[in-house]
Every structure is written in structure tokens, then in C-alpha cells.
A = this chain, B = another copy of it.
Amino acid sequence: MSDVSWSDAEKEIAQTAFEKAYGREIAVLIQEVRAQATSLSELEDLWRLHDFLSTRRHDVDGKYDYRYSMLVFVFSRLVKEGWLNLDELAGLEESKLAKIAALTRM
């Protein structure tokens, strides 16, 4: 299981990539919430914002799982969703990169 064995160099690459994706997604989320908040005019809009935050919170909490046994799946999802480029993972073992790339095509 090479997925769960990460060298120090790989851990550093993983950490950086993880934080980059996280930062990007949160920045966009904050923008979205600000935009929704600007156009609030009635109660329904408030509750729509609340529902939106509930969904996104659940989603973000579940997605950013920094366990080494999960990282290959986490990264493939982040690439698929556009929060990360595959080349930002350069330096990881070939087998991990291949697996991540394969998963993004599923």
C-alpha cells in the first residue's frame, strides 16, 4: 500500500497542495456568501443562505480529510473539482500520481 506510505518530501508537497486547494475553495465560498448576502431582501433569502451554508459546511468538512490513507482520494476529488492542478502534485511517487490521475477520470 504505497498510498499510505509518504516520504517527508511527499508530505511537504501534499501539505502545500492541500492548503492551496483549501484556500482557493474557501476564498470562492466567502465570495459567494458575500454576494448572496448583498442581495438579501427577504426572509426566504436568509433561509436559502442558511441552507447553502449547511450544505457547503457538510461538504467542506467531509472533503478536506488529511489522513495519509485518504489523500489520494482527496486529491483526485480536488483536481476533478478544479481546486488543484495535477502538476501541483509533482514530486509525489509515480504510483500515487497515476492513481490520482486515474481517479479524476472516473
> Are A41 and B50 interface neighbours, CB within 8 A?
no
> Are A46 and B30 interface neighbours, CB within 8 A?
yes
The CA of A38 and the CA of B35, in the complex, are separated in Å by 9
Number of copies: 2
The CA of A56 and the CA of B36, in the complex, are separated in Å by 18
Q: How many residues of A contact B (CB 8 A)?
A: 22
The CA of A3 and the CA of B32, in the complex, are separated in Å by 47
A94 at the interface (CB under 8 A from B): no
Q: Could you tell me the distance in whole angstroms from the C-beta of A18 to the nearest C-beta in chain B? A: 14
24 interchain pairs, CB-CB under 8 A = A26-B42, A26-B43, A26-B46, A29-B43, A29-B46, A30-B40, A30-B45, A33-B37, A33-B46, A33-B49, A34-B38, A34-B40, A36-B37, A37-B38, A43-B60, A46-B56, A46-B57, A49-B53, A50-B50, A50-B53, A50-B54, A50-B57, A53-B53, A54-B54
